[in-house]
Chain A
């Protein structure tokens, strides 16, 4: 149990950049939202700040804290249809629905994100190849625009705003509540397999072989090994366990660990990353391990350490997630891995996955068929930024994209190439809304004062 309230100073998960809004305005009730058109500065909703970079930040603007809109509205237990306010976290939803035989349709690697955030970044999970993004499961939501209209958006009502808001980075208005479909489960356990691989080729092979059989797949990889193999790692795949007898079994509750202060910056460097990777890779002694595990450590291994982002110290860090299409993807992946290795910047947690072909309704949705890699880099100033610019170039040449939810630095030019529908999207941006990210990538560098 945590007694301490969260501080209201909006920060993103990477703690870079550290920029302040002119004002933080908390919203407590759907029926009592201040008139948005009255604010002098542009607005941006902020929920739990689990975005890494600046897409949830609004320097010099108004940060609308929507995390208090966290009430359930209705739950049809027969149909698995849940309706709740947009600030409800996936953690609270799981706590409610898992004991009743339901699961969230798509989950990112942390459960401490809000429904509004999951829609605004159209988040993906380990089951992208089977289920698409979170937005694929949303049936409707209510959107508050700055002029006071409250619009129900669905594939049938206001369909354009529906598509713009899914993956719309909080720029189309405030999502007040949303309704979405859950997925039925027999029990809360995951029947999983862990497979060691020692090259990118082998990863692709295992991926092709397991994608059909398994609902959830992802790999932890070490890309610092060098040589022709490019990477080694552990492939994790699983399905919801089907045994009825396990339904009554409760997974033990472990208290989360917390990192109470920023680590000094020297703690994480290439050397420590290498030893960490070495340790992870070798803790698995046999090639394949098969187990039935509770869902939490399978989906949210990082959530067991609260504020793990503070390990990077006060300088913060940058996440970098990109996707490259399957065709030519291998060459791009090789080049990117080589460049990172040569740069001497280590990535502590590197995750490799394939995206499937299910299309999201979202105009700016990031996932597309291909291979995706997520890395993090301690912020080392110009050197780090330069490396990432170089990587952008490779991603762009291969026809891929970089994930805005994790970005703090991509150029307008690259963004516009990665998201060719951005101008179509821009028509639906609320005139009173903006973000640090949006000002950068849409080339309206000045703060719009309204």
Chain B
């Protein structure tokens, strides 16, 4: 399987489950040192094979080459997990178009680029599973993080369409929508009672991938919460500070 953003705390937890099953990995992220740390860990836990690839996903022009390398080194690809992301700084984005577009590239455009290339491959292969970590933040725009939210929202819609297309070829597309998770990405965010552990969420993703789910909220209670948040009428919602 291929994991983009393989050094993410959540993706690592999912990978641990697959390693136990003896999976072969193609791990992609920016830091070679962190990739080595994750690779060694998965190896000890039972991974049959570890290949790593250093890539900044904002270099869209390198995506094709990276995916081809993954397919040739692993001799095919059954599963993909796209997990990279940055929370970004909403205030900074509001002041800078460049910053907003940078966040969009990392969280949305880069994923769409990867998916566009991967979709053809999976469609022809007629099997496999593509999983992407989106976010509950994409379910409704809020003043505190709508740049990140909009990127994730666009991603969720893209995935909906892709699922619709690839279901005809027997390819599963899983959209994962985590709530607030305690990871390095949210180290600076104040955690309330609802913050979940990366382990529980990562294991949830593993199960969702195994059972080829469509859209999963993790932990599950975010589904009803987001249902309520989505039904608040806009005239009311716009006056809330969320």
Contacts and interface: CB of A to CB of B under 8 A. Distances in A.
Interface in A11-43: 26, 28-31
Nearest to A70: B41
B187 A96 contact: no
B181 A71 contact: no
Contacts of B199: 2
Given A71-B38, A72-B41, A96-B44, A3 B197 contact: yes
A378 B96 CA distance: 57
A255 interface: no
Interface stretch (B29-37, B67-75, B145-153, B228-236): B29-37
A450 interface: no
Helix, strand, loop or mixed for chain B's interface?
helix
B118 interface: no
A31 B34 contact: yes
B33 A31 contact: yes
Given A31-B31, A72-B44, A74-B44, A5 B191 contact: yes
Helix, strand, loop or mixed for chain A's interface?
loop
Interface in A21-71: 26, 28-31, 68, 71
A73 B197 contact: no
A8 B191 CA distance: 9
B195 interface: yes
B44 A3 contact: no
B184 A28 contact: yes
A5 B33 CA distance: 26
Nearest to A5: B182
Interface in A124-160: none
A254 interface: no
Interface residues of B, number: 24
A71 B195 contact: no
A31 B45 CA distance: 21
B201 interface: yes
A5 B196 contact: yes
B40 A72 contact: yes
A1 interface: yes
Contacts of A75: 44
Given A5-B181, A5-B182, A28-B184, 19 more contacts: A1-B200, A3-B197, A3-B219, A4-B195, A4-B200, A5-B196, A5-B198, A6-B182, A8-B191, A28-B187, A29-B37, A30-B37, A31-B31, A31-B33, A31-B34, A68-B9, A71-B41, A73-B41, A84-B44
29 contacts: A1-B200, A1-B203, A2-B200, A3-B197, A3-B201, A4-B196, A4-B200, A5-B181, A5-B182, A5-B191, A5-B197, A5-B198, A6-B182, A7-B191, A28-B9, A29-B33, A29-B34, A30-B37, A31-B31, A31-B34, A68-B9, A71-B37, A71-B40, A71-B41, A73-B40, A73-B41, A74-B40, A74-B44, A96-B45
Interface of A: 1-8, 26, 28-31, 68, 71-75, 84, 96
Across the A-B interface, the 9 shortest Cβ-Cβ residue pairs: A5-B182, A72-B44, A71-B41, A3-B200, A31-B33, A5-B197, A3-B219, A3-B196, A75-B44
